Amino acid sequence: MEFQILMNRIQSTVGRTILLVILALAGISCERNIDLNLPPPQPHLVVYGVVEPDSLIKVSISRNSAYFDPVDLNAVLNLLDYSATITVQSTDSLGQTELDTLKPLLFPALPILQYWTVFNYQGTKIRGRHNRTYQIHILHPDHEIVGETKVPVPSRIDSLWVRSRAFLQKQANPSSQPTSRDSQLVQLFYRYRDPQAPGDHVRVFSRIQNEDQWSTAFNSVYDDQFFNGQSLDFVLPRGKEAYLFNDSTTFDEFGLFRAGDSIQIKWASIDRTNFLFWSGLAQATGGSGGPFGAQPVVTTNLRALRGRVLGLWAGYGSVHYSFKVPERP
Amino acid sequence: MILGSWVPVFGLGHSPDITAPASSNPEAEDLDKDRIPRYTLSGYLRGQSGENLVGATIQVLAQGAGTVSNAYGFYSLMLDSGEHTLLVQYLGYQKLTKTIRLQRNTQLNLVLEESVVEGTEIVVEGKRADDNVTQGRMSVNEVDIRQVKSLPALMGEADILKTIQLLPGVKNGGEGTTGFYVRGGGPDQNLILLDEAVVYNASHLFGFFSVFNADALANSQLIKGGMPAEYGGRISSVLDLTMREGNNQKHVTQGGLGLIASRFTTEGPLKRGKASYILSGRRTYLDVLVDPLIPKDAPAKGSGYFFYDLNAKINWQPSPKDRLYASAYFGKDVFDFNNRENGFRFSIPWGNSTATLRWNRILSPRLFANHSLVYSDFEFGTRFTQNDFTINLNSGVRNLTFKQDFDYQLATGHRLKFGSQLIRHWFLPSVVEGRAGDFDIATNNIRRLNAVEWSAYLRDEWDISDRWQVNAGLRFAVFQQYGPYSYERYTDATLVTRLDSVGFGPGEKVVRYPAWEPRLNLRYLVDKQSSIKIGITRNLQFIHLASSSGTSLPADLWIPSTLKVRPQIGIQYAAGYFRNFRDNTYETSVEVYFKDLQNQIDFREGAVNGFNPLIENDLVFGRGEAYGMEFFVKKNRGKLSGWVGYTLSWTNRFFDDIMKGKPYPYKFDRRHDLSVVGTWVQSPRWKFSGTFVYSTGNAYTLPESRYFFEGQIIDQIGERNSFRLPHYHRLDFSAVYTPNQERASDAAMGGGRRRYKGEWVFAVYNVYSRLNPFFIYLDNEGSLQQGTLQIQAKKVSLFPIIPSVTWNFKF
């Protein structure tokens, strides 16, 4: 069932509802533009490093910018930083140590860079392995950063299936009259059997046939706090980036796949710091805060020995699944 | 007027003087033949309708000695035999001067008459006129409920909590809200009592109206510091509210029609002079008015919001020495939202319930006893349904309390109060239950927490000399959490690596916190018009509100002290100079305070909002401090009455896990806070009131910079509460028009002729429509892809000028 969606709603709806009700009841609230004089920002190094099974390590290094600085694609590129020396180390249970010094990618792949990360450093030796821990060290003229992450052993999805929007509309309201288009749009479901031990965290990605980048829902991570050890059905929504990228996708099909799509799913077990980072990021971009919510702070699992750092050193214990949506779902 | 055959009763300014008959002296307190025998004068102080008068002063004029009636209206004085003139005063009532001749222990009930506006002068018979100077206690404010009703109010809803916010040292929670913060303390650090029952969440409509219906209230007292020993469990303040008892002489009905809600109260004798009842209700009707306007086939049909309150109380005097009370409060907010298009529906109900049973007994003329059994409950729920998926999220807190209090008059000017209290706490910090098709969801994560709190106290109030009074108290409390309970241990502070889980069985002791809570207040009378007072208080708080919002919301969770969450400790030092002028027409005071707050709780930076059964893991602990200076000038008499209060204050927090221990301002740290309250009596028909408030803007957290991550623009949040919202100021105005003091109505409502009284309250909130900031946010507009992204700071203001009219009636 749409457990994910509802839990997301529950977590965000109460605060927003409170605000909406107040504003609606007041009916007289007023909003005005104002000028803010924010203090000059303190420079931070922004790090996103990824280690996955069977893949070379990738790291993005960039800087933060003043809050009201212009924001465009050039600004994004200009914030990339190549002044770092990055090493990654991992030691196995026998005491064998792997060491990798990453090389800068002066001409990194620029997919649709406003939606995806530009990795400007890449490893040359280490390929990620399940159940291994990786330490990163970043030496930069203004910063020295360290961090550690683990590539967990992945949990598994039991099964996948789809339901057309027409079917779901009829289920919700038997008197509804779906259109033919509703029959061509589908919701992807999966059944997940959570391991008995508590503390499982997952990040879920998806893409379809002609896409080379993974996309995620607004809140892409889940933990088993409410269903530890149980088997449940969930919705797997189409990622937000896909919607933003593909001009032919309209808002009313947000989160849905189409008949005939070849869907690929990356199911990645993650550790708790990784989970907290993405949860905080979802809150931060989801409009939390205001008068009734604390300003969400996006945490980091990196530590600055010198200077300041933002971002994530992420181990993804990932497995992949494929699903072909029938032409007539 | 005879309230009982056992005592003579005086009052209304026309009763004859009393001579207690001379007799043999078996009851004489002092048999030394060289000294004048002493006797005890005791009894109840009541209003005309039989209401107990709490905190009324009885002064023996020739001696300057006196006492104050206790929480049940009982007083006791030891006096030399002979003639004495008593002066009795009480907030909102006319003074009563009475001469008695005391020749034996005498029980004397006194009846005071309510103040009425005569001509164009008002006299706020606050209490003994120089009470603020002569009483040893400090940092205490009493608010006349009648004044609450005449002051301008948001949408015409008279609100005790909003009046309290106008006092020095008390800050509000934001535009129009009822949350209050005392001397740098948090919202959970105020002990709010309604007839001795704890009210855990005192607000309706997410904080814009309080749960207290002014028609059902008799007394209110706010203690900002130096809490007497009988109060425990909170470290910042006590707001002690008493429900009215109902008129035991005649049946009275009153009510009001307002902009958003209506009130209705009925009261009267069950047995004239012996027993009475009161029943008071209030309900909003926006939902009722709006529903017919929504088409039947609209997707949102069935959505709506309302709240209601119901207060009920009965009291009975089975014998001259006994009095029984039963009172209850029920209040609820309900918000429903339907979306038929996608089968989505949710409902958010929450509310308080309280019930109090009390038995007062006069054990002797000098010893008064009260026994109370009190129940309090607060529940918050959220129910979501979509198709065959249902999920309920609930949280709550409740307690059952048994307490005993004794007042003992050791000698004139020397009074002891002692007692004990046993509280059984239940906590339901967060429960998720649901069903998805054939699956039950998370029924194994229900985590009810249990605790018991026991305490005993002794308070000694003693006039050591004409100039010195000491008010000392000691409270000893033990809080014990017991199972079932389990918690998870981690190898690191960031809870990444789980070590194990520790469990406790049902009834098994988890942790015990014993605590000594001493307090001392000293008063030095400089002269008849001025005094100096100092005080120190140490309080502990065993239950805590986990709030991610910084303001009190129904979704916030109450949790007990546990192995991980230690009791909050508050130590307050205060000193003040009090002086009255012009025969007590003007009261003035200056108080300074310093408050040390230990074991404060907050959410960990980056904690995931939401319902978390293991909420303790998301909390961090630190300390706070608050200090400041309060100025208060009050005018009690004349056509113009009111007060000016100004507070200069600082309050900071220190958490090792927030900003690496660097101090940061508390959300309600406001350097300057000014309130001006005035009432002008133009004539018996017209009375005008106004309030003006000014305060430094709230401390606020804003982003400092931004960065790009996986294609998203992320705010890098700056130092906590390092930004200031613009200053807040607002002027409100009200006019109360009483067209006819009384008129005869026909017999349509039950036969006979009834006395009818009506009044119109016209109010204007925010007269000059100042757009005060409710909050500020930063908005992204445009597209990054198209290079049109713009960032704009926006200020949201909630209430511009809002006129309202309320019609009140009474017959």
Give the tens place of pLDDT for each residue, B323-380: 999 999 999 988 887 776 666 777 888 899 999 999 999 998 889 999 999 999 999 8
B675 vs B172: which has the higher pLDDT:
B675
Q: Could you tell me the two tokens for A289?
A: 């805060």
Is the Cβ–Cβ distance between A219 and A201 less than 8 Å?
no
Taking an 8 Å cut-off on Cβ atoms, the answer to whether A226 and B442 are in contact is yes
Taking an 8 Å cut-off on Cβ atoms, the answer to whether B774 and A29 are in contact is yes
- A194 in contact with chain B, both atoms CB, cutoff 8 A: no
Taking an 8 Å cut-off on Cβ atoms, the answer to whether B705 and A64 are in contact is yes
The partner residue sitting opposite A298, judged by closest CB among B714, B777, B778, is B714
Give the highest mean pLDDT range of B134-138, B160-164, B500-504. Answer: B160-164
- Answer whether residue B125 shows pLDDT above 50: no
- A235 in contact with chain B, both atoms CB, cutoff 8 A: no
Q: Are A167 and A244 contained in the same domain?
A: yes
* pLDDT reported for residue A167: 87
| Sequence-ordered strand ranges (E) for B437-561 | 439-441, 449-463, 468-482, 485-490, 498-504, 509-527, 530-541, 543-546, 557-560
pLDDT band at B174 (very low <50, low <70, confident <90, very high): confident
pLDDT band at A61 (very low <50, low <70, confident <90, very high): very high
Which amino acid type is present at position B439? F
Q: Are A164 and A220 contained in the same domain?
A: yes
- What's the domain count of chain A? 2
- Beta partners for residue B687, in sequence order: B681, B736
Is the Cβ–Cβ distance between B408 and B383 less than 8 Å?
no
Q: What is the DSSP letter of A215?
A: B
Residues of chain A positioned with their CB less than 8 A from the CB of B303: none
Q: Tell the residue number behind the tokens 């593909």, with chain if given.
A: A246
Q: Which residues are CB-contacts of B104 (< 8 A; sequence separation ≥ 6)?
A: B20, B21, B22, B23, B25, B27, B39
Question: CA-CA distance, B188 to B541, in Å (whole number)?
Answer: 9
Cα atoms in the 13 Å half-sphere on the side-chain side of B563: 14
**B640 falls within a domain:** no
Q: Which residues are CB-contacts of B496 (< 8 A; sequence separation ≥ 6)?
A: A271, A272, A273, B490
pLDDT band at B607 (very low <50, low <70, confident <90, very high): low
Q: Identify the three-state secondary structure at position B89.
A: strand
Q: What is the DSSP letter of B683?
A: S
Q: What is the mean pLDDT of residues B762-770?
A: 90
- Give the domain CATH number at A250: 2.60.40
Q: What is the DSSP letter of B550?
A: S
**A30 falls within a domain:** no
Q: Tell the residue number behind the tokens 């608050």, with chain if given.
A: B626
Question: CA-CA distance, B123 to B125, in Å (whole number)?
Answer: 6
Question: CA-CA distance, A47 to A57, in Å (whole number)?
Answer: 13
Q: Could you tell me the two tokens for B123?
A: 């006299």
Residues of chain A positioned with their CB less than 8 A from the CB of B203: none
Q: What is the DSSP letter of B553?
A: -
How high does pLDDT run on average in chain B? 83
**Range name among B172-186, B319-333, B492-506 with the lowest pLDDT average:** B492-506
Residues of chain B positioned with their CB less than 8 A from the CB of A71: 706, 713, 784, 789, 791
Helix/strand number for chain B, H first, E second: 4, 56
Q: Identify the three-state secondary structure at position B638.
A: strand
- A1 in contact with chain B, both atoms CB, cutoff 8 A: yes
- Which residue of chain A comes nearest to B612, CA vs CA? A225
Give the highest mean pLDDT range of A23-27, B10-14, B172-176, B584-588. Answer: B584-588
Question: CA-CA distance, B182 to B740, in Å (whole number)?
Answer: 41
Q: Tell the residue number behind the tokens 């009734």, with chain if given.
A: A292
Q: Are A187 and A241 contained in the same domain?
A: yes
The partner residue sitting opposite B498, judged by closest CB among A10, A199, A277, is A199
The partner residue sitting opposite B798, judged by closest CB among A6, A29, A72, is A29
Residues of chain B positioned with their CB less than 8 A from the CB of A61: none
Share of chain A above pLDDT 90, in %: 37
Kindly state the helix (H) or strand (E) to which residue B404 belongs, with its residue range.
Answer: strand B389-411
Containing domain of residue A294, as a range?
45-153+272-316
Question: CA-CA distance, B547 to B187, in Å (whole number)?
Answer: 9
* pLDDT reported for residue B479: 97
**A1 falls within a domain:** no
**A251 falls within a domain:** yes
- Which residue of chain B comes nearest to A78, CA vs CA? B708
| Sequence-ordered strand ranges (E) for A105-237 | 121-127, 132-139, 144-151, 157-164, 185-193, 201-208, 221-223, 231-236
| Sequence-ordered strand ranges (E) for B738-771 | 743-745, 754-765
Maximum CA extent, chain A: 69
- B795 φ, ψ to 5°? -110, 130
**A230 falls within a domain:** yes
Taking an 8 Å cut-off on Cβ atoms, the answer to whether B436 and A1 are in contact is yes
- A6 in contact with chain B, both atoms CB, cutoff 8 A: yes
Q: What is the DSSP letter of B104?
A: S
- Which residue of chain B comes nearest to A63, CA vs CA? B707
Residues of chain A positioned with their CB less than 8 A from the CB of B555: 14-15, 18
- A114 in contact with chain B, both atoms CB, cutoff 8 A: yes
Q: Are A187 and A276 contained in the same domain?
A: no
B119 vs A35: which has the higher pLDDT:
A35
Q: What is the DSSP letter of B748?
A: G
Q: Are A177 and A308 contained in the same domain?
A: no
Q: Which residues are CB-contacts of B361 (< 8 A; sequence separation ≥ 6)?
A: B321, B322, B323, B368, B369, B370, B371
Mutate to test the interface with B, among A13, A19, A23, A29 (most CBs of B within 10 A): A29
**B53 falls within a domain:** yes
Q: What is the mean pLDDT of residues A213-242?
A: 79
Q: B484 preceded by cis ω (within 30°)?
A: yes
Pairing mode, strands B38-47 and B74-80: antiparallel
Taking an 8 Å cut-off on Cβ atoms, the answer to whether A72 and B787 are in contact is yes
Q: Are A144 and A84 contained in the same domain?
A: yes
Q: Are A196 and A67 contained in the same domain?
A: no
Q: Identify the three-state secondary structure at position B64.
A: coil
How high does pLDDT run on average in chain A? 82
Q: A111 preceded by cis ω (within 30°)?
A: no
- B74 φ, ψ to 5°? -85, 140
Residues of chain B positioned with their CB less than 8 A from the CB of A283: 608-609
Question: CA-CA distance, B260 to B387, in Å (whole number)?
Answer: 34
Taking an 8 Å cut-off on Cβ atoms, the answer to whether B705 and A66 are in contact is yes
- Give the domain CATH number at B34: 2.60.40.1120
Q: Are A143 and A85 contained in the same domain?
A: yes
- Beta partners for residue B559, in sequence order: B544
**B56 falls within a domain:** yes
Taking an 8 Å cut-off on Cβ atoms, the answer to whether A65 and B707 are in contact is yes
Q: Are A137 and A279 contained in the same domain?
A: yes
Question: CA-CA distance, B667 to A16, in Å (whole number)?
Answer: 20
* pLDDT reported for residue B751: 45
- Which residue of chain A comes nearest to B701, CA vs CA? A295
**Range name among A131-145, A264-278, B404-418, B611-625 with the lowest pLDDT average:** B611-625
Question: CA-CA distance, B660 to B651, in Å (whole number)?
Answer: 18
Q: What is the mean pLDDT of residues B553-558?
A: 73
- What's the domain count of chain B? 1
- Answer whether residue A109 shows pLDDT above 70: no
Q: Are A74 and A142 contained in the same domain?
A: yes
Q: Are A84 and A227 contained in the same domain?
A: no
Containing domain of residue B23, as a range?
9-126
Residues of chain B positioned with their CB less than 8 A from the CB of A148: none
**B143 falls within a domain:** no
Q: Identify the three-state secondary structure at position B445.
A: helix
Q: Could you tell me the two tokens for A250?
A: 């309209």
- Beta partners for residue B333, in sequence order: B307, B350
Q: Are A149 and A160 contained in the same domain?
A: no
Distance (Å) from the alpha carbon of A120 to chain B's nearest alpha carbon: 13
The partner residue sitting opposite A31, judged by closest CB among B553, B794, B800, is B794
Q: Tell the residue number behind the tokens 């939401």, with chain if given.
A: B610
Q: What is the DSSP letter of B558?
A: E
- Answer whether residue A301 shows pLDDT above 90: yes
Give the highest mean pLDDT range of A10-19, A268-277, B29-38, B169-178. Answer: A268-277
Share of chain A above pLDDT 70, in %: 81
| Apex B182 CA angle, B176 and B184, nearest 5 | 105
- Answer whether residue B622 shows pLDDT above 90: yes
Distance (Å) from the alpha carbon of B775 to chain A's nearest alpha carbon: 6
**B87 falls within a domain:** yes
**A24 falls within a domain:** no
* pLDDT reported for residue B555: 67
**B623 falls within a domain:** no
Taking an 8 Å cut-off on Cβ atoms, the answer to whether B549 and A292 are in contact is yes
Q: What is the mean pLDDT of residues B691-704?
A: 90
Q: For residue B380, give the nearest of B389, B392, B368 by alpha carbon.
A: B392
pLDDT band at A116 (very low <50, low <70, confident <90, very high): low
CA distances from residue A85 to A88, B235, B266 in whole angstroms, order as listed: 10, 53, 80
Give the tens place of pLDDT for each residue, A304-320: 999 999 999 999 999 99
- Answer whether residue A7 shows pLDDT above 70: no
Q: Tell the residue number behind the tokens 């809002």, with chain if given.
A: B802
**A9 falls within a domain:** no
- Answer whether residue A20 shows pLDDT above 60: no
Residues of chain A positioned with their CB less than 8 A from the CB of B444: 228
**Range name among A110-114, A321-325, B5-9, B165-169 with the lowest pLDDT average:** B5-9
The partner residue sitting opposite A273, judged by closest CB among B432, B496, B548, is B496
Mutate to test the interface with A, among B339, B496, B615, B657 (most CBs of A within 10 A): B496
- A279 in contact with chain B, both atoms CB, cutoff 8 A: yes
**A2 falls within a domain:** no
B74 vs B205: which has the higher pLDDT:
B74
The partner residue sitting opposite A297, judged by closest CB among B382, B388, B717, is B717
* pLDDT reported for residue B757: 84
Residues of chain A positioned with their CB less than 8 A from the CB of B205: 21-22, 25
Mutate to test the interface with A, among B709, B723, B776 (most CBs of A within 10 A): B709
Q: Could you tell me the two tokens for B744?
A: 């005869």
Q: What is the mean pLDDT of residues B782-790?
A: 69
Cα atoms in the 13 Å half-sphere on the side-chain side of A133: 9
Q: For residue A246, give the nearest of A287, A215, A279 by alpha carbon.
A: A215
* pLDDT reported for residue B748: 42
pLDDT band at A30 (very low <50, low <70, confident <90, very high): confident
**A183 falls within a domain:** yes
Residues of chain A positioned with their CB less than 8 A from the CB of B553: 18, 292
